[in-house]
C-alpha cells in the first residue's frame, strides 16, 4: 500500500523484487523490531551479532546495502532498486516463507523460550507465515533438539559455539 504511486511496479511479473517493490517504512519497522529481538537473544545467550544503526533498516536496500555493497550503501524509498529487479519472490511458496520461517524464525522462537526472551514479532511471523501457506510451522519448524543443542544450558552452548566442546545428551 505504501508503495502505490511511489515506485513503478511494472507489468511484467519477472521484474518483481521484494527489495524494489515491497520494502517500505512499515516493513522496515517490522524488520527493525525483529532485529531487536535477535539482539536480546544474543545478549541473553552471551554471543554477539552484527550491529546496524536503526536508520540502516529504513531504506529500500535495508541492511543488505551495507552488508553486500559496503557502508553507506542505501536505496531511498522514493527510488527503485534496479539491482534487485527480477529477484522475486514469485510465489508465496518461496524460501523466504517456506525456509526462513520454519528454520530461522522457529529456532529464534525456541531460543527465546529456552533463555526467557520474549519474541512477539518473530512469533507473529511464524503465525502469519503458517496461515499464508497452510503449514503449521510451530509443529514442523526446526527444533533445538533436532540441532542437537536442546539439552545444552547457556554455559554448555557457549562452550560448544566458542570452543567446539560438545556435551552429549545424558
* Predicted confidence (pLDDT) per residue in 4-46, tens digit: 455 645 566 677 777 777 788 999 999 999 999 999 999 999 9
Q: Is residue 6 part of a domain?
A: no
Pair (49, 77) in one structural domain = yes
Q: Is residue 3 part of a domain?
A: no
Pair (160, 113) in one structural domain = yes
> What pTM was computed for the model?
0.87
Pair (162, 110) in one structural domain = yes
- Domain holding 102: CATH number? 1.10.1040.10
Contact by Cβ (8 Å): 32, 65: no
Handedness of CA 101, 63, 55, 78 (dihedral sign): negative
pLDDT confidence tier of residue 65, bands split at 50, 70 and 90 = confident
Q: Is residue 124 part of a domain?
A: yes
pLDDT tens-place string over residues 85-109: 777 787 888 888 999 999 999 999 9
Q: Is residue 8 part of a domain?
A: no
Pair (102, 152) in one structural domain = yes
DSSP H or E run through 93: none
Mean pLDDT of the chain: 88
Boundaries of domain holding 161: 91-170
Pair (140, 78) in one structural domain = no
Please give the Cα distance from 147 to 106 (Å, whole number).
12
- Residues forming a β-bridge with 59: none
Can you read off the three cell numbers belonging to residue 75?
A: 536505496
Number of domains in the chain: 2
Can you read off the three cell numbers belonging to residue 151?
A: 539439552
Q: Average pLDDT of 126-139?
A: 96
Q: Is residue 157 part of a domain?
A: yes
- Lowest mean pLDDT across 58-62, 77-81, 99-103: 77-81
Pair (83, 104) in one structural domain = no
143 Cβ neighbours under 8 A, 6+ residues apart: 106, 110, 150
Pair (80, 103) in one structural domain = no
Amino acid at each position: 500500500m505504501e508503495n502505490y504511486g511511489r515506485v513503478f511496479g511494472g507489468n511484467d511479473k519477472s521484474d518483481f523484487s521484494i527489495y524494489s517493490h515491497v520494502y517500505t517504512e512499515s516493513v522496515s519497522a517490522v524488520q527493525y523490531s525483529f532485529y531487536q529481538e535477535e539482539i536480546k537473544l544474543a545478549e541473553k545467550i552471551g554471543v554477539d551479532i552484527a550491529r546496524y544503526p536503526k536508520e540502516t533498516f529504513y531504506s529500500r536496500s535495508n541492511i543488505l546495502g551495507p552488508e553486500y555493497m559496503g557502508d553507506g550503501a542505501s536505496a531511498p524509498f522514493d527510488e527503485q532498486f534496479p539491482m534487485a529487479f527480477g529477484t522475486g519472490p514469485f510465489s508465496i511458496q518461496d524460501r523466504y516463507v517456506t525456509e526462513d520461517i520454519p528454520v530461522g524464525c522457529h529456532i529464534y522462537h525456541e531460543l527465546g523460550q529456552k533463555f526467557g526472551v520474549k519474541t512477539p514479532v518473530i512469533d507473529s511471523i511464524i503465525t502469519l507465515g503458517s496461515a499464508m501457506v497452510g503449514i503449521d510451522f510451530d509443529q514442523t519448524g526446526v527444533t533445538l533438539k533436532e540441532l542437537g543443542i536442546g539439552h545444552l544450558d547457556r554455559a554448555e552452548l557457549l562452550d560448544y559455539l566458542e570452543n567446539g566442546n560438545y556435551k552429549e545428551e545424558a
